[in-house]
Amino acid sequence: MTQTVRVVEIIDKNLCSVEIQRESACGGNCASCKGCPSAGEKILALAYNAAGAKVNDIVVVESSSKDIYGIAALVYMVPVVLLLLGYILMSALSSASYAPGIGAALGFAAGVLIAVIYGKKKKGKVYLTVTKILKN
């Protein structure tokens, strides 16, 4: 997975901070439709500076699809799976009509908590590599 970004800071010889324009999930022009509230927002990320980029260079960064898909699976799938497990478990354990709903809510909350803790643990890790300088 590649993206064009701007280098905003050189942290050391091998590491830089880049500014990434957040894109919409649909790939459309969100500036015109205003459908995605976070599209167009700029975020900072760390990148290995393999190409020797300098501040304000426009560069291509590459990330491992495996890492990105793994994070996405955790964030989106774990809460849903735990919601379903909570529902099924409480349906089997209790005859009360409200029990499956409570189990589903608790399972979903546990999944979100796991995703948040994982996100805080991974914050600041480097997933990007500067592979090419497009413009100095």
By residue count, the chain amounts to 136
Query: Six-digit token pair at 127?
Result: 């997933």
The burial class, CB within 10 Å (0-12 / 13-18 / 19+), for 129 is middle
30 or 99, greater pLDDT: 99
The yes-or-no verdict on residue 33 having pLDDT over 80 is no
Is residue 31 a contact partner of residue 40, using CB atoms and an 8 Å limit?
Answer: yes
Chain mean position to CA 128 = 13
Q: Please give the model's pTM, rounded to 2 decimal places.
A: 0.60
**122 compared with 89, residue with greater pLDDT:** 89
pLDDT score of 30 more than 70: no
What are the structure tokens assigned to 1, written together?
Answer: 């997975």
Residue 86 contacts residue 103 (beta carbons within 8 Å): yes
Token pair 């990320």: residue: 45
For residue 43, what is the enclosing H or E element?
Answer: strand 42-48
- Please say if the pLDDT value at position 59 is more than 90: yes
Residues 6+ apart with CB under 8 A from 77: none
